[in-house]
Structure 1
Amino acid sequence: MKHVQKRGQTWRYRRKVPEQLREILGKGELVAPLGGNEQEAIKRYGRVHGAAEKTLADAKVRLAEMLGQIPQRIVTPLDRFAKTRDAVKALGFDPEADGSEAEWFKRSAVAERLVAGRATDPKTGYPVDMAPEETALISALHSGLGRAPLPTLEDAKRLYLEDRARRSNSSELSRKKDQQRADRVVGHVVAALQRNPVLTELRRADARAVHAHMLRVINSPSTVERYLNDTRAIINHALKEMDLGHIANPFMGLEIASANEAETAKDRRRSFSSTELAAIRARIDALSRAPDLKHLWRILEGTGCRLAEVTGARTVDLVVEGELPHIAVEWHEGRRIKTHSSRRKVPLVGEALEAAKAALEAAGQGALLFHRYGGDHGATSASAALMKHVRAIVDDPKAVVHSLRHNMKDRLRVAGVPKATQDMILGHASGGVGEDYGSDEARLRVATAAMKAAASLEKPLKRMT
């Protein structure tokens, strides 16, 4: 673990602040207690390190703003309104007040002083060569602010990103990826409609035009579906948080028309055959330079976890001793969880348990189970590394690393495991209210029994395939 010190019986996190950021943060180092023993330090390290990363990342953003290195912000009517309101407040007036006659005279006097000495139009008598923000301020002083403009899609995107970053406490790189994706999605909408649309003016015809534009320029129905889901999320969040709940989101229920629109998730991915699995496993064992890829593949194969759920696992998330060995899939600073139902404890049995033990031993005192793949791009890097071996054996585009989840689903089905238990193991929402009831231990015992039953049928199933 980086930046960790032991002084006597106390462990602490101590990290130097880069010189260029010291003035912004007002300190030369970041220091935080980790506990009175090594185990406490290991448990607390991830959260403390994540907080330090965020502090430094925010300071870097502030430094970039000071140096003028941040891309120019698109100015919306709501931006101009907020700037005018702040300017009125800075002059000592209440922007929201209607104002008495006496206050109106005061505000008019200030407005007159602001334009004093300016050249005027001989026909109208109004000052010329004034910046738009100056004109807006003068108007607000004379006539009041008026009602706030309605939010645009750009305003909705900013609110969505701000709230998402605040909720997730994500890293700078993760926030940058969210920003890029949201910019890309909104960019497609603006390109399709040739404007930054006001949310209340969006119609179903607009949504259909955006859909058609995305299909034309992206040419990937699955990507279009993701982008439309992002668009829905951005608009829905704004409708809720900006008190526009009476407005319907025209992107809701929009069907993704394509040449293969009947294709389901089942059709887009397939399970590996036993022969393919054996060949891929043998190739990884023989050709991968580091053993972590071998351990990663066996854990994925033996648990049915999503790739990011394993690459983002911490050493404290694994229990490999006792009656119920398992991997805990939890949210933490370095890894988000897809859905609420994804938070779970997945049993480790057979080869997956042995691989987990080997991975833990290799991790040593590190906080992450797979330090090479635990960062923001870890899952992507691991996928690329594993897919080289997969493609050397199987050229079918429907056979990918994610196919291992389909293999686990097959094994659970053949073993006669109830669907609710399958969903519990794979992190799928079953839709039942009762899925949140009961203890973690009880659920883990049921899941462990199911996994053992599936493992016991593995050899007969291989002969069948």
Structure 2
Amino acid sequence: MAYNNRVRFCFRKGGVFYFVRRVPADLASVYKHTRISFSLRTKSRTVAQSRAMAVAARLEEHWFRLRLERDGPPVSLSVPVKSLFANQAALSEVTLSSTTLTQALETYLRLRGAGRSQLFRRTTERAVGYLITVCGDRPVAELTRRDANAFRDWLIAKGLTGSSVGRMLSCVRAVINVAANEEGIDSPRAFSSVQYDRKAGVVSRAPVPLVALRRVQTACVEADDDRRWLVALIADTGLRLSEAAGLARADLVLHHPEGAFVEVRPHDWRPLKTASSARRVPLVGSAEWAARRVLSKASRSAYAFPRYVSGDGVKANAASATLNKWLIPLVPEGCSIHGMRHALRDRLRTVECPSDIVDQIGGWTTAGAGHGYGKGYPLTVLRKWMEAMTNVT
């Protein structure tokens, strides 16, 4: 990024001209930043020069007004200061449009991306990238409801489901809100309450029936390899696929006064979905067998399933594709590995397990302020219900 000597008040980045002007030292207290900078939205030198000079002229008038209001007009000036500026509001908002979508994205990732997964970063970059494809790298304050509707229509035409459209819109709203907050301005409402069919294309995930689950567990024991250990672990714990695939070997505890358990906790390579996802789940049935098989295999890796973990994080999509392909002949149509998590809740209902215990086992958030107090149920209580669940035929 370097200043261009031929175009005053401009520099180029990626071929696009950006306006830049230092805030005068005597007006520094009025601004949050020492520079005013934003995209001129052109690669044309001629257009950039014209726009830059126009903005510079507005700024000079604006700064003149600020100085008059601060220091007072000359003695010979009898006209009220405010009447000199018919477009005072427009001049005072010159920094409002200085933050482009690209700059807003950088700000959002810097402030909200610390400690988050690569998936969080990729999802955010993808959502804002899609919006830039539709609307251009616009200043955030210039986005309108028409832009939001065009973005929604583009996502739908691209084939995204209603839930995916919702995630993209939510992501864009978050980026815009953070950028507006940083600039100290009211957040633009263009992307609020955008209408779309939230159920479009969404396929409900069916729980795996118990008879099919038993068939899968038998096949896992027969195959007896790391992929099937992962499936068997999920079958009787209800862990999310990313939770299970991202376990460390140390998370599998076989010798404990209250019995074997798996500790679901955040790692550098795999954060957790929610705060309530951190939990201890007793190892029973096929899950205990799988944990013993994992730990019985000599490995230099700290990961329980190194096949699906790398420096970039957990390869949950690859694991899902491979394991679901293997499951297809063993489960009814519409079922997947995530259906085992749904099945866990139904299986615990069958033995009349209290719902707050079910929530603790599955890492679901229990409604009500009171449930946030205390440490939760001990492993012995959780184990009682999970053993009752596995004994149902």
State if a TM-score over 0.5 links the two structures: yes
Residue 304 (1) aligns with residue 238 (2): yes
CA distance in 1, matches of 2:182, 2:380: 42
How many residues get paired?
Answer: 331
Q: Which has the higher helix share?
A: 1
Q: CA deviation at 1:207?
A: 2.6
Is the Cα–Cα contact under 8 Å of residues 235 and 249 in structure 1 kept in the other structure? Answer: no
SS in 2 for 1:185: helix
Residue number in structure 1 paired with 2:301? 366
SS in 2 for 1:327: strand
SS in 1 for 2:297: helix
Is the Cα–Cα contact under 8 Å of residues 143 and 188 in structure 2 kept in the other structure? Answer: no
Residue number in structure 2 paired with 1:62? none
Residue 403 (1) aligns with residue 339 (2): yes
Instruction: Map 1:422-441 to 2 at 5 A.
Output: 422-439=358-375
CA distance in 2, matches of 1:252, 1:447: 42
- Shift in alpha-carbon separation, 1:373–1:76, aligned structure 2, 3 A: farther
Cα deviation digits, residues 383-441 of structure 1 (max 9, x gap): 22211211233472x3111001011011111111122221111111123222232125x
Match of 1:148 among 81, 95, 98: 95
Q: CA deviation at 1:129?
A: 8.4
Residue number in structure 1 paired with 2:351? 415
Residue number in structure 1 paired with 2:125? 183
Residue number in structure 1 paired with 2:324? 387
Residue number in structure 2 paired with 1:222? 163
Q: What amino acid maps onto 1:317 in structure 2?
A: D
Cα deviation digits, residues 340-365 of structure 1 (max 9, x gap): 11122222122212211221222545
CA distance in 2, matches of 1:152, 1:419: 47
Residue number in structure 1 paired with 2:284? 349
Q: What amino acid maps onto 2:209 in structure 1?
A: S
CA distance in 1, matches of 2:372, 2:14: 44
Runs of 5+ in structure 1 lacking a partner?
A: 1-71, 100-127, 460-465
- Shift in alpha-carbon separation, 1:307–1:238, aligned structure 2, 3 A: same
Q: What amino acid maps onto 1:382 in structure 2?
A: A
- Shift in alpha-carbon separation, 1:234–1:349, aligned structure 2, 3 A: same
What is the TM-score normalised by the length of structure 2? Answer: 0.72
Is the Cα–Cα contact under 8 Å of residues 144 and 190 in structure 2 kept in the other structure? Answer: yes
- Shift in alpha-carbon separation, 1:251–1:348, aligned structure 2, 3 A: farther
Is the Cα–Cα contact under 8 Å of residues 109 and 121 in structure 2 kept in the other structure? Answer: yes
Instruction: Map 1:37-52 to 2 at 5 A.
Output: none
SS in 1 for 2:262: strand
CA distance in 1, matches of 2:173, 2:287: 39
Match of 1:199 among 140, 146, 149: 140
Q: What amino acid maps onto 1:449 in structure 2?
A: K
Identity %: 29
CA distance in 2, matches of 1:208, 1:372: 42
Residue number in structure 2 paired with 1:22? none
Q: What amino acid maps onto 2:126 in structure 1?
A: R
- Shift in alpha-carbon separation, 1:358–1:76, aligned structure 2, 3 A: farther
Cα deviation digits, residues 90-145 of structure 1 (max 9, x gap): xxx7485489xxxxxxxxxxxxxxxxxxxxxxxxxxxx989869x77x959x9499
Q: CA deviation at 1:296?
A: 0.8
Cα deviation digits, residues 315-356 of structure 1 (max 9, x gap): 222222121422121112110111111122222122212211
Q: What amino acid maps onto 1:392 in structure 2?
A: P
CA distance in 2, matches of 1:156, 1:386: 38
SS in 2 for 1:269: coil
SS in 2 for 1:313: coil
- Shift in alpha-carbon separation, 1:212–1:301, aligned structure 2, 3 A: same
Q: CA deviation at 1:285?
A: 4.4
- Shift in alpha-carbon separation, 1:294–1:310, aligned structure 2, 3 A: same
Match of 1:256 among 193, 196, 207: 196
- Shift in alpha-carbon separation, 1:210–1:325, aligned structure 2, 3 A: same
- Shift in alpha-carbon separation, 1:363–1:223, aligned structure 2, 3 A: farther
- Shift in alpha-carbon separation, 1:247–1:351, aligned structure 2, 3 A: same
Q: CA deviation at 1:178?
A: 4.6
Is the Cα–Cα contact under 8 Å of residues 317 and 327 in structure 1 kept in the other structure? Answer: yes
Runs of 5+ in structure 2 lacking a partner?
A: 1-12, 31-44, 64-93
Is the Cα–Cα contact under 8 Å of residues 293 and 386 in structure 1 kept in the other structure? Answer: yes
Is the Cα–Cα contact under 8 Å of residues 232 and 252 in structure 1 kept in the other structure? Answer: yes
Higher mean displacement: 332-341 or 386-395: 386-395
SS in 2 for 1:380: helix
SS in 1 for 2:281: strand
Match of 2:151 among 201, 205, 210: 210
Q: What amino acid maps onto 2:247 in structure 1?
A: A
Is the Cα–Cα contact under 8 Å of residues 363 and 369 in structure 1 kept in the other structure? Answer: no
Is the Cα–Cα contact under 8 Å of residues 344 and 424 in structure 1 kept in the other structure? Answer: yes
Give the alignment's Cα RMSD to 1 decimal: 3.6
